[in-house]
């Protein structure tokens, strides 16, 4: 992507995100839009957002691919990897070559390499001194982000934080906890809906999610509402329509 075209797309994306934030919005849908933009604009293989679960750990909320999701789940299971380090330190973690990670990250390394990833970046989602999650970028190639891409990735992480916390309504820790739990609960329902659509239509999980999101957009419904109706069997999606 040429620099001018890339810059124009970045501006359009941030304009869309800004427009979304001034109105009512579905936080998981916002974060999904954001990780998709990270993947496409920054030329990532996969992008994932993890949020704190209220017990000192992290849970996946949105991901651009099931492969990326598998790697992140392995990180969580092992409690070791760039996303965990970024969350605990509140700083960005760059892994130019996954082959060369520390010995304690062996489970992450093996899972990532099995999925075809060569490098990774983890950027904290921070509100002042509090880290509430991480934006994680995975690439099939090795190497580090350019300065421009690093700045853009940090900006995406900041937008994700703003979208979750929304300073006008999230002024107390109790409200913050409720919003984070809502995002995590919504993700669980969406995962269940993906399973329902995948099973009933005999399609892969990634295609099932695309069907759910396309239906939500075309009918001007929130992603979480469509997912809940699918789980309750009040809605059936036909890939031919």
Share of the chain above pLDDT 70, in %: 91
Handedness of CA 88, 93, 97, 102 (dihedral sign): negative
* Span 190-225, pLDDT tens digits: 899 999 999 999 999 889 999 999 999 899 888 889
Contact 117, 110 (CB under 8 A): no
List, by residue range, all CATH 1.10.10.10 domains of the chain. 172-241
Task: Give the model's confidence band at 133: pLDDT under 50 very low, under 70 low, under 90 confident, else very high.
Answer: very high
* Span 61-87, pLDDT tens digits: 889 987 777 777 777 756 789 999 999
C-alpha–C-alpha distance, residues 71 and 64, integer Å: 12
What is the model's pLDDT at position 29?
A: 86
- What are the structure tokens assigned to 57, written together? 């750990």
Q: What are the start-end ranges of the H helices in the chain?
A: 3-21, 27-41, 66-78, 82-89, 106-114, 147-165, 173-201, 205-218, 223-231
CATH number assigned to the domain covering 3-168 = 3.30.450.40
Q: Which CATH architecture has domain 172-241?
A: Orthogonal Bundle (1.10)
Task: Give the model's confidence band at 168: pLDDT under 50 very low, under 70 low, under 90 confident, else very high.
Answer: very low
Least confident of 49-58, 136-145, 196-205: 49-58
| 181 vs 126: which has the higher pLDDT | 126
| 104 vs 164: which has the higher pLDDT | 104
What is the model's pLDDT at position 16?
A: 81
Closest CA to 74 of 92, 58, 53: 58
User: Rg of the chain over CA atoms, in angstroms?
Assistant: 18
Confidence check: pLDDT of 101 > 90: yes
Give the other-Cβ count within 10 Å of 113's Cβ: 14
Q: What is the mean pLDDT of the chain?
A: 85
Summarize the confidence of residues 90-110 as an average pLDDT.
93
List, by residue range, all CATH 3.30.450.40 domains of the chain. 3-168
Summarize the confidence of residues 152-168 as an average pLDDT.
81
């Amino acid at each position: 992507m040429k620099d001018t075209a890339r810059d124009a797309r970045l501006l359009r994306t941030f304009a869309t995100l800004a427009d979304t934030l001034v109105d009512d919005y579905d936080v998981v849908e916002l974060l999904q839009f954001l990780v998709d933009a990270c993947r496409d604009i920054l030329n990532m293989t996969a992008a994932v957002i993890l949020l704190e679960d209220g017990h000192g750990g992290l849970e996946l909320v949105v991901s651009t691919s099931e492969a990326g999701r598998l790697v992140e789940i392995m990180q969580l299971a092992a409690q070791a990897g760039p996303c965990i380090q970024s969350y605990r330190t509140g700083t960005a973690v760059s892994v130019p070559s996954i082959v060369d990670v520390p010995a304690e990250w062996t489970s992450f390394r093996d899972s990532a390499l099995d999925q075809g990833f060569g490098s990774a970046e983890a950027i904290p989602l921070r509100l002042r001194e509090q880290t509430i999650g991480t934006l994680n970028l995975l690439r099939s190639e090795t190497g580090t982000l350019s300065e421009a891409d690093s700045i853009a990735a940090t900006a995406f992480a900041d937008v994700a934080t703003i979208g979750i916390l929304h300073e006008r309504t999230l002024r107390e820790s109790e409200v913050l906890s409720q919003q984070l739990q809502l995002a995590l609960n919504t993700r669980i329902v969406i995962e269940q809906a993906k399973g329902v659509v995948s099973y009933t239509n005999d399609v892969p999980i990634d295609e099932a999610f695309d069907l759910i999101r396309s239906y939500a957009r075309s009918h001007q419904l929130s992603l979480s509402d469509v997912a809940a109706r699918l789980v309750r069997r009040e809605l059936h999606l036909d890939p031919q329509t």
